[in-house]
Amino acid sequence: MTSITSQTTTDKLIEATREIWKAYNDHPFVTGIGEGSLDREKFRYYIMQDFWYLKDYTKVFAIGLAKATNVDNINLFAQSIAGISAELNVHNGFMAQLDITEEELDTIQPSLDNLSYTSYMLRVAYEETEVEILAAILSCAYSYEMIAKEIMRHNPDAIHDDFYGSWIQAYGSDTYAASNQTLIESLNRLSQHYTDAQIDHLVAIFTACSRYELAFWEMSWQMQ
């Protein structure tokens, strides 16, 4: 067993939120994607709310870019912003299938959970350093990879679903995993000499964002 002293920062973040992350995979919205049985009206609501979320999520990366202290981190945040553009392309495919119009996207209001989540991340971004920003970002980015891979592990054929298969493939892909690995390595490197108190603060940020992620799935399930 790995000793506590040899744990990386991200090891500690994941360990602290293990039960919350387990709840993602048990949530009916997520299991519905994996089974191909999720009501498409619920997914339609999710896609529109997530489109709004991604706009502010991009701003968090942009603030990280402005606060980056070296070239490597500048490139990290810049490439991540480009990666979100690719993620939006996946959304665009679903928007076409679900007949989501630009007018709808222009007028949609974020749910209270959505607004609370993005407001929290933006506050972290404005008030803290690039390290804390990475901790906030990682909860969303990495959890989607883990959810998709868990779906694929339990049901390999899920990637062939006519509707939800492209979502699972996108977040379960090697390309998406590689971008997350870069975030993880950067967070571990930048926090290598953090004190216990500073690590505890990163855990608190990561835990808050993980709880918001779970609330986002519930918000999408309830469509409210």
Q: pLDDT tens across 54-100, in order?
A: 999 999 999 999 999 899 999 999 988 888 877 777 677 898 899 99
Residue 1, pLDDT above cutoff 50: no
| AA letter at 158 | A
Kindly name the residue from 87, 130, 132, 140 that is annotated as catalytic: 140
Average pLDDT, integer, range 190-215: 97
pLDDT value of residue 2:
41
pLDDT value of residue 132:
98
164: left (phi over 0), alpha (psi -120 to 50) or beta: alpha
pLDDT in tens, 144-156: 999 999 999 999 9
Name the residue with tokens 């222009």: 106
Share of the chain above pLDDT 70, in %: 97
pLDDT value of residue 5:
52
Average pLDDT, integer, range 200-214: 98
Whether 77 contacts 60, CB under 8 Å: no
Name the residue with tokens 């493939």: 169
Residue 213 appears among annotated catalytic residues:
yes
Name the residue with tokens 């980056």: 68
pLDDT value of residue 25:
97
pLDDT in tens, 117-171: 999 999 999 999 999 999 999 999 999 999 999 999 999 999 999 999 999 999 9
Residue 189, pLDDT above cutoff 80: yes
Mean pLDDT over the full length of the chain: 93
Give me the domains of the chain, ranges plus CATH numbers. 4-222 (1.20.910.10)
Residue 127 appears among annotated catalytic residues:
no
pLDDT value of residue 9:
98
pTM above 0.85, yes or no: yes
pLDDT value of residue 4:
45
Q: What is the end-to-end Cα distance of the chain in Å, rounded?
A: 43
pLDDT value of residue 92:
79
CA distance 35 to 28: 10
CA distance 25 to 30: 6
